[in-house]
Amino acid sequence: MRQPLTARQREALDYITYCLDERGYPPTLREIGEHMGIRSTNGVNDHLKALERKGYLVREELKSRALRPVGHDDQKVSIPILGQVAAGQPILAQENISDRVTIDRFFVGKAPSKEVFGLVIRGDSMIEDGIYDGDYIFVRKQSTAENGEIAVVMIEGEATCKRVFHEGDRVRLQPANETMAPIYVHRSEFRAIDVIGKVVGVYRKLH
């Protein structure tokens, strides 16, 4: 049975785990010190050595960032799934999180998990791109999309998933369904249109 941790040792271990989960790599000694209010890296080292001695942390001495909590699986990430978003509400607001899914990092690539959120697809507008009703899409937060990229776009407070094409003084939001017409947003219309993020992965639950 492992020895119990002190409050400060627990704080250090929790911060290392948080950094791994949120950005995909552990913090430096300096970052741990700043987080915990410890000016000396020697002071941070004392906590890390105690965590190692008690069996909570594995560290490779020659690598400044090689800190790994025992049992931590950095190939898994937790992604927030956003529920229905009312018009005018920010799509990324904390209160809109309806669920979380833990997935292999493969599905979202190298993007830090805090930059990725999930949405549930409703409808058949993207079926020819392999995105079906009820699928989760994983979206990396960014405010631009290159021509042809699949993105989540807000139009007048409504979120939609489409391929984005910039065509002179208009934007074409193209569905991947030959039975559906594209959405055109002309600059002269002054309609509020914002790219929320780029789709980086699709996840389907098998029932």
Q: What is the pLDDT of residues 18-70, one digit of tens each?
A: 887 777 678 888 999 999 999 998 999 999 999 999 988 887 655 555 777 77
CA distances from 170 to 85, 138, 165, 180 (A): 26, 26, 9, 19
Query: Does 23 reside within a domain?
Result: yes
Cβ-contact 91, 80 below 8 angstroms: no
What is the model's pLDDT at position 158?
80
Residues 81 and 64 in one domain: no
Query: Does 178 reside within a domain?
Result: yes
Indicate which CATH number applies to the domain containing 139.
Answer: 2.10.109.10
- Give the pTM: 0.61
Q: Which domain holds residue 93?
A: 76-203
**pLDDT interval class at 87 (50, 70, 90):** very low
Residues 187 and 116 in one domain: yes
Task: State pLDDT tens for residues 146-200.
Answer: 999 999 998 877 888 999 999 988 999 999 999 999 999 988 887 778 898 999 8
The structural domain count of the chain equals 2
Domain-ending residue, one of 49, 69, 89: 69
- Distance, CA of 80 to CA of 107 (rounded, Å): 14
Task: State pLDDT tens for residues 100-126.
Answer: 777 776 666 666 667 888 888 888 899
Catalytic residues: 125, 162
